[in-house]
Amino acid sequence: MLLSASQMLASSDSLYMDALSLYEQGNFESALESWQRVVESGFESPELFYNMGNAAFRSNSIGHAVLYYEKALKLDPSMNDAENNLEFLSRYKSDAFEEVPEFFLRTWFSKAVHALPEHAWSIMALAGFVFTLAFLLLYIFTRGLTLKKTSFFASLAGLLFTVFTLSSALASHHEIIHPESGIILSPSVLVRSTPSETGTELFILHEGTRVKVNEEVTGWHNIRIIDGREGWIRTDDFGTI
């Protein structure tokens, strides 16, 4: 079992490198396909998604390019190249929105959560937990008054730190398991009021637009755009980050 997993990893690695050379030859679409196969075989990495974004952009698929850069940034929020290219792509997007202001704590928390990848938060939470317990022990068993006070506050600080990092990790984890954001992939998509072809046409979104993904009804997803409007689009018209 372990062996086959490592074999798969090895074959994915070679597939990845093949795609890289295809890209260098200017065969962007084939490169993108090969990289897609790597993802389909169950592996990912920020670099992989970043390169896929480039290949998608070179094959004129703005929506996919945006999606892959976002995926890369999700895995590694500090990936500068992906951020830069995403910024570059914004000029190709047709849809412009006025942002609806959110509650500031929410924005802060969301920004904080997205500042680090999930595993960083998880490890920090674990470290904070251990730290808290250690100082709790010190607090319980020490005799000296100053030491007791210090250890008490240290463990309290550790507890707060743990709570924050753990909730960030959980939020991050939730986003991995249930992706909340999506990118419109079809060049233009009709957003309807109900999950059917007969629903009233509400508005049109174009590729590359980021949407919040809510509930799903077979083949359709409820989405919300940044200015707060909601509607239904077909599931194959967008990709989740």
Only segment of 43-51, 104-112, 148-156, 216-224 that touches another protein (CB under 8 A): 43-51
Phi, psi of 173 (to 5 degrees): -65, -40
Residue placing its CB nearer to another protein in the complex, 151 or 172: 172
Which positions ≥6 away from 87 have C-beta within 8 Å?
Answer: none
Among 6, 13, 110, 115, binds another protein (CB under 8 A): 13
DSSP class of 228? S
Q: Do residues 212 and 180 touch, judged by C-beta distance below 8 A?
A: yes
Please give the size of the binding site for another protein, defined by CB under 8 A.
58
Among 67, 189, 225, 233, binds another protein (CB under 8 A): 189
Distance CA 116, CA 134 (A): 26
177 binding another protein? (CB under 8 A)? yes
7 binding another protein? (CB under 8 A)? no
Residue 194 three-state SS: coil
Q: How far is the CB of 233 from another protein (least distance, A)?
A: 12
Distance CA 200, CA 202 (A): 6
Q: Which residue has the tokens 């929105």?
A: 97
Q: Do residues 50 and 65 touch, judged by C-beta distance below 8 A?
A: no
Which positions ≥6 away from 70 have C-beta within 8 Å?
Answer: 86, 181, 183, 210, 241
16 binding another protein? (CB under 8 A)? yes
Only segment of 5-13, 103-111, 144-152, 218-226 that touches another protein (CB under 8 A): 5-13
Of the candidates 151, 172, 192, 145, the residue with the CA atom closest to the CA atom of residue 77: 172
Distance CA 4, CA 93 (A): 42
136 binding another protein? (CB under 8 A)? yes
Mask for 62-91, x = binds another protein (CB under 8 A):
-------------------x--xx--xx-x
Q: How far is the CB of 103 from another protein (least distance, A)?
A: 26
- Interface with another protein by CB under 8 A: which residues? 9, 12-13, 16-17, 20, 23, 38-39, 42-48, 50-51, 53-55, 57, 60, 81, 84-85, 88-89, 91-92, 94, 118-119, 122-123, 126, 129-130, 133, 136-137, 140-141, 169-170, 172-173, 176-177, 186-190, 197, 201, 204, 206
